[in-house]
Amino acid sequence: MSSESRPIDQNLRVAYLTAGAAGMYCGSCLVDNALVLAMRHQGANVQLLPTYTPIRTDEENISTDQVFFGGINIYLQQKIPFFRFLPPFLDRIFDNPRLIQMATKKSTSIDAKFLGALSHSMLLGKHGHQRKEGLRLCRWLRDHLRPEVIVLSNVLIAGFLPTLKELLPETTIVVTLQGDDIFLNELSQNYRKKCLDQIKKLHPFVDGYLLHSDYYKNYMTDLLEIPPEKCHLVPLGLNLDDFTDSQRPLVRTSSSANNAGRLDKVPSHPFMIGYLARLAPEKGLHLLVDAFIELKKTTSLDVHLKIAGWLGDHRIDYAQEQFDKLAEAGLQESYEYVGSVDRQQKLEFLQSIDLLSVPTTYPEPKGLFALEAVACGVPTLLPDHGALPELTGELKCGLLFDTDDPADLLKGLQTIITDTELYNRLKIAGRENLFRLRNNQDLAKRHLQIYSDLRQNQG
């Protein structure tokens, strides 16, 4: 029987484990929370369980009020052997969500060597220092939820799966891969290899892997040596109820036949280039700032830069360096940093810009920021790596620039600002295609279909 003809069991009991990010708006948290909400709207019985820390999301937070693999406990159990033998009632104190939030509120960075040892220990499961944390989760799932499907939002917490399969042998295990490589690549070479070797040993306990793009599917299948038949592709989507088209008018087209597609006069508002991501080198804010400074030297049009995103304490110097460059170029009045934004502020931000550009320096596995912009009718200018070429090609929402050529970002800005026929086409087509192809309500059905198929194949 083909997957298309099999009925979806929408009454599946699903436990969906997501990873908190210490008070930061995290793309994976936003994606997981939105997807689980959409699956619930389809009638599915899905519980969203946070790990490490409580999650922070800009939609209704539907996660449970308890945290598994709590950040305080796993840290103490890694550093101090005494804490590996504390009785459960003391562990519960350290797993209190409010205490974890307080302890991680100012969290910035941890030594990479420690993260490597901790990550490897977590992947060792019952043979690692956090074995009682894994056992607690497995027993809780068995005694309270008895889920038919368990979804992990990353593979780095998969060390407990062998124990889980012992306690719940008929449970279907699904792992969503959506940025695990970024963390693994930040580890020392020694611990990166150890973690990769351990992940490969866990494949027999995983029934299926979900990925959001062909690029990431091919990359992670190779990196983790995943059996190809276990990989399933489901594009990234959005809950679209409150995304409205930007009220900013389409850029006017020249009436001159000799200058078709170019501005014949300055629009009534500044052309606003937007950046929506955390302020960090890997997200490429410095590249956009440099290109913007050069752009201002080459155009007489009123062009501004508007920046939004979370700024960690360890990135304050980096962000200030970018603001100083803008000030030294005499552009204090041509840019604005609005800080970290909640959902309503994010929607207002997206409706206030004409173009979004986040020139990440690493291959982007998701591109959530691009989808959100396009949902508001905002074209994109993105690097030509990771999942972004697929996203841009499918939605017809923007242009790509060559990441090996710094001048190509500037060229892309100049093209989109001046070629108004192109701009108008990207603005309209991108939004129409996104609403047709990337609605979470439709994609939630695809997730549930895969879960159902995997269970039937198990049987």
For 42-76, the pLDDT digits (tens) are 889 999 999 988 888 878 889 988 888 887 888 88
pLDDT band at 316 (very low <50, low <70, confident <90, very high): very high
User: If you ran DSSP here, which 8-state letter would residue 327 be given?
Assistant: H
Structure tokens at 44: 């599915």
pLDDT band at 400 (very low <50, low <70, confident <90, very high): very high
Question: What average pLDDT does range 334-341 have in this prediction?
Answer: 96
Question: What average pLDDT does range 316-325 have in this prediction?
Answer: 98
pLDDT band at 1 (very low <50, low <70, confident <90, very high): very low
**263 and 201 both lie in a single domain:** no
Whether the CB-CB separation of 44 and 78 falls below 8 Å is answered with no
1 lies in some domain: no
Residue 87 has a pLDDT of 82
The tens digit of pLDDT for each residue in 23-37 reads 666 778 889 999 999
Instruction: Kindly tell me if the per-residue pLDDT of 301 is higher than 90.
Output: no
**81 and 113 both lie in a single domain:** yes
Identify the helix (H) or strand (E) that includes residue 325.
helix 316-328
Residue 220 has a pLDDT of 96
CA atoms within 13 A on the CB side of 349: 25
Whether the CB-CB separation of 437 and 236 falls below 8 Å is answered with no
Phi, psi of 61 (to 5 degrees): -80, 110
Residue 75 has a pLDDT of 83
**358 and 451 both lie in a single domain:** no
**21 and 90 both lie in a single domain:** yes
348 lies in some domain: yes
158 lies in some domain: yes
Whether the CB-CB separation of 431 and 351 falls below 8 Å is answered with no
pLDDT band at 112 (very low <50, low <70, confident <90, very high): low
Sheet of 172-176, strand order: 45-51, 13-19, 149-152, 172-176, 208-211, 231-233
The tens digit of pLDDT for each residue in 183-230 reads 999 899 999 999 999 999 999 999 999 999 999 999 999 999 999 999
**DSSP assignment of 338-403:** --S--HHHHHHHHHT-SEE----SS--S--HHHHHHHHTT--EEEESSTTHHHHHHHHT-EEEE-T
**39 and 86 both lie in a single domain:** yes
Name the residue with tokens 């009123």.
302
pLDDT band at 249 (very low <50, low <70, confident <90, very high): low
In the chain, how many domains are there?
A: 2
**Number of Cβ within a 10 Å radius of residue 35:** 26
252 lies in some domain: no
Residue 141 has a pLDDT of 95
> 441 or 9: which carries more pLDDT confidence?
441
**392 and 445 both lie in a single domain:** no
Three-state secondary-structure class, residue 322: helix
Q: At what angle do helices 368-375 and 388-395 cross, to 10 degrees?
A: 20
**128 and 55 both lie in a single domain:** yes
Question: What average pLDDT does range 336-358 have in this prediction?
Answer: 95
Instruction: Kindly tell me if the per-residue pLDDT of 258 is higher than 50.
Output: no
CATH classification at residue 300: 3.40.50.2000
pLDDT band at 251 (very low <50, low <70, confident <90, very high): low
pLDDT band at 7 (very low <50, low <70, confident <90, very high): low
**118 and 156 both lie in a single domain:** yes
Question: What average pLDDT does range 416-434 have in this prediction?
Answer: 95
**103 and 193 both lie in a single domain:** yes
Phi, psi of 92 (to 5 degrees): -65, -30
Using a 10 angstrom Cβ sphere, with 0-12 exposed, 13-18 middle and 19 or more buried, the burial of residue 216 is buried
Whether the CB-CB separation of 91 and 170 falls below 8 Å is answered with no
The tens digit of pLDDT for each residue in 139-164 reads 999 999 999 999 999 999 999 999 99
CA nearest neighbour of 219 among 184, 172, 173, 174: 184
Three-state secondary-structure class, residue 207: coil
Instruction: Kindly tell me if the per-residue pLDDT of 250 is higher than 70.
Output: no
Please give the share of the chain, as a percent, with pLDDT higher than 90. Answer: 70
Structure tokens at 69: 């693999």
8 lies in some domain: no
Residue 76 has a pLDDT of 86
Instruction: Kindly tell me if the per-residue pLDDT of 370 is higher than 80.
Output: yes
pLDDT band at 88 (very low <50, low <70, confident <90, very high): confident
What CA–CA distance (Å, rounded) separates 405 from 82? 53
Mean pLDDT, the chain, whole residue set: 88
**309 and 186 both lie in a single domain:** no
66 lies in some domain: yes
Q: What is the domain range of residue 233?
A: 13-239+440-458
Instruction: Kindly tell me if the per-residue pLDDT of 406 is higher than 50.
Output: yes
Give every CB contact of residue 158 below 8 A, 6+ residues apart in sequence. 123, 152, 175, 199, 202, 205, 206
Whether the CB-CB separation of 33 and 62 falls below 8 Å is answered with yes
**DSSP assignment of 403-454:** TT-HHHHHHHHHHHHH-HHHHHHHHHHHHHHHHHH-BHHHHHHHHHHHHHHH
2 lies in some domain: no
Residue 261 has a pLDDT of 42
Residue 327 has a pLDDT of 97
245 lies in some domain: no
**51 and 195 both lie in a single domain:** yes
**264 and 298 both lie in a single domain:** yes
Report if pTM > 0.95.
Answer: no
What CA–CA distance (Å, rounded) separates 175 from 227? 13
Residue 169 has a pLDDT of 95
Residue 254 has a pLDDT of 43
What CA–CA distance (Å, rounded) separates 331 from 336? 10
Instruction: Kindly tell me if the per-residue pLDDT of 105 is higher than 70.
Output: no
